[in-house]
Structure formats: C-alpha cells, structure tokens
Chains A and B, each alone.
Chain A
Amino acid sequence: MHITQGTFSFLPALSDEQITAQAKYCLEKGWSLNIEFTDDPHPRNTYWEMWGTPMFDLKDPAGLMYELAECRKVHAGRAYIRVSAFDATPGWESLRLSFITDRPAEEPGFMLERQERGGRMIAYTTRAYAADRPAGARY
C-alpha cells in the first residue's frame, strides 16, 4: 500500500532534481530544512526521527542533497524519509511544507481491526503490518 502524506502527496515520487528545486524554493522563502525518517507508517505518527540537526544556516540546496544522500546510505529501502521546511517567522513558527522523498522497498499496508463492543457497536483500529516487528527491523 503506497502511503502518501504532506505536500505533493498526489504526485508520483519526486526525482532528485525536483527535490533540489523544492529545497531551493524553501531556502528562497527563508525556511530552514530538515530531514526526518521513520519506520512506523501509521498516519498518526507525527514525530519522526530527525536526521542530524535542522539546517538553519543553509544557503544552497546542495547541502540538503548531501545530507539526504547520507541518510539514504543508512535508511534507503528500509524507512520513510521526508524533507520538511520550518518557518521561524514570528506568527508562523511551524512547518510550512513537508514531503516524502523515500519510502521502503515494500509497503505491506494496514490491517483494519474491528473491536466488538456492547450494543453491537464496533470500534475500528488501523494497524500497520510492518509494526508487528520491532522498530529497526520493520522493512
């Protein structure tokens, strides 16, 4: 199951060139870039692991691509990697954009669990198949 989230979630995977262009856009806006990764695909999993520190001083997308390449060396094919852009302007102080750049080679998808409750009520839970295994060994 192809998981999508964030900006460009409706587009096919971005090429490196396109990622560079997006990073350039963010830098021109004065946002700082971050690289995050996770192996827990649940949509409510908001806080991903950070790859290194936020890149506050970056002036050129080459720095991001360098870090992304480093991150891919470790996590490519075994985790989701996303790039996010943080806007520090007073009043915003939050993420302005984030998009997935890399995903695991195989995405087994989600199990829909139905829990029977009193009065024929049903509670639904989604659980990632990947999450059956311990963190770090999921993909």
Chain B
Amino acid sequence: MDANPDTKIDLDAAYLRSGVAEILDELDRELVGLRPVKLRIREIAARLLIDRLRREFGAGGQAPTLHMSFTGNPGTGKTTVALRMADILHRLGYIRTNQLVSVTRDDLVGQYIGHTAPKTKEILKKAMGGVLFIDEAYYLYRPENERDYGQESIEILLQVMEQRRDDLVVILAGYADRMDRFFTANPGFRSRVAHHIDFPDYGDEELFAIAEKMLASQHDRFDDGAAAAFRDYIAARRRQPHFANARSIRNALDRARLRQAVRLFEGRGRPMPVSDLITLVADDILRSRVFDHARAEEQP
C-alpha cells in the first residue's frame, strides 16, 4: 500500500490501543525518581508507536536500533530498569519474547583459546528474540592483558548487534567512569549503541520513598519515630564512603529487620500484638553504626 498523504490517522486511538500509556504509568508508579530514564523510555515508546503506524500505512519506516547503555553510580536502578525493559519492549511489540538473559563477563568469555566464540554465540542464541543484558560490561575489556579473550567476545557481540538488529536488543550496564573508558577503547560499541542513558543519584526524599516501597513489598512499615530516624539515617549514610544509593537503603533495612527481630526476641516474656511483627521502631534504626560514625565526625 502506498502512503496516501491525505489519510487521517487517529493517533490517540492508536496510543490507547497499544497499551503504552499503561506501561508508562506503571513505570511511574513503581520506580521512584529516575526522571531522565523515564523520559528516554517515553521517547522510545513514542518512536516505536509512530514506526508501527508508519508501517501500517505503508509509509516506510524501519525498526530502529534499540541497543542501550545504562551508566550510573552503584544502586541507581540500572539492573532494575533493564529487567523491566524486556517487558516494556515486548509489550510495545518490538521484541518477540519478553525474556531477558542476564550475563556477566564469565558467561561470555572462555578460559582457553577457542572457548570464547562458542560460549558467546551460545548466549547470543539463547537471548535472541529478547533482551541480552550485560551487567558490568566494562569487565569484557581488559586493557592490561593484550591476550585477553574478552576482545574476541566483543567482536562477536558487535557483529551480531549489527547484523541481527531485528532479533536482539543488547543492554550494557556499568559504572559511568569505567563504561566511558570501555567505550573509548571500543569505539565500535559506542556507535552501535543508540541510547546512552545516565542514571542520576537519588535525592534524600527519593531514597526515603524507595525505603517505604521496599518495606511495603514485605508488608513491613515504619512507625512515626522510625520514619524520622530513617530520614536522619539517609542523610548520615550519604556522607560516608561506599554509599550505594538504593542498595545501601536495602542493606540498612535488612539490618534494621535483624535488630527488630532481636528486640522482639528479647522481650518474648510478655504478650505481643501482631502489628509489632511488622513495625520497625526508631530504636531499630538508631542503633545503626552509621550514627556512631556521624557523631564521631561531629566531635573530632
């Protein structure tokens, strides 16, 4: 069918029909913050929808390249978003299955000569039709060892990313500075990856919202004192080394649960309401070592 420029297209109806709105709403609801990431996903969704319409009306349009690179500090949600990406792209009709194959260097690179190519190809075949997620992709390239087999794996990846664009979406993830070095050493990668998405650090309020979501998913909750204490905790933790955004929050909550369990266990002599089991109180948080460090810093 040739494109008839006068045909009127009901974009609104197509938008509703595609279910894109639902996907984006869900993303907004379930992921805290990450504004640039959501914006980019919105753009990709719009592009895919327009492309589909163009094909429907015979106005050409070929499937875009959707290889992506996620960079950002530890715990900013790169892996979480990648896991959702397969689902999103599948619902947008870009990939055929909603499977995501998550690999690291060990899965791609072999241990002796001739081991790498079959190993990489095996993974690529397995991932075809869906998304291949390479976590900490910069490990693939080891500049200090010129006989490293990672280079071989990279070459196969590049070849398949280029030739089989319709069958496979590759998402690379890693810390920003190391990924930059990785791309500088492999310029082929940078140009074949269409979307470079940077994950920003979370603000204090966003981290608190994440904490509440994490608790809600386990049917736990803060009481008022604990909520205030946890806000202080976030501010104190941020100033200390090895702060890993949402991951630090998750670990903090895990430790708070441990302390809660000990507290309940020690008070086992008296009857206890069920709500105690699911409530974290201020003391569970305030006994964290993070506050000791914070106090130590204040009075040198």
Smallest Cβ-Cβ distance to A67: which chain B residue: B125
Q: How many residues of B contact A (CB 8 A)?
A: 17
Task: Identify the stretch in B46-54, B126-134, B269-277, B281-289 within 8 Å (CB) of chain A at 4 or more residues.
Answer: B126-134
Tally of A-B Cβ pairs under 8 angstroms: 44
A59: chain B residues at CB < 8 Å are 97, 99, 126, 128-130
A52: chain B residues at CB < 8 Å are 118
Interface residues of A in 50-72 (CB under 8 A from B): 52-53, 55, 57-64, 66-67
Smallest Cβ-Cβ distance to B95: which chain A residue: A60
Task: Tell yes or no: B142 within 8 A of A by CB.
Answer: no
Which of the residues B99, B121, B128 comes within 8 Å of A62, measured between beta carbons?
B128
By DSSP majority rule, is chain B's interface helix, strand, loop, or mixed?
loop
Q: How close is A55's CB to chain B, nearest CB, in angstroms?
A: 6
Smallest Cβ-Cβ distance to A52: which chain B residue: B118
Which of the residues A53, A55, A62 comes within 8 Å of B164, measured between beta carbons?
A62
Task: Tell yes or no: B257 within 8 A of A by CB.
Answer: no
21 residue pairs of the A-B complex, CB under 8 angstroms, read: A52-B118, A57-B122, A57-B126, A58-B125, A59-B99, A59-B129, A60-B97, A60-B128, A60-B167, A61-B129, A62-B96, A62-B125, A62-B164, A62-B166, A63-B126, A66-B121, A66-B124, A66-B125, A66-B128, A66-B167, A67-B125
Chain B: residues with CB nearer than 8 A to chain A? 96-97, 99, 118, 121-122, 124-126, 128-130, 160, 164, 166-168
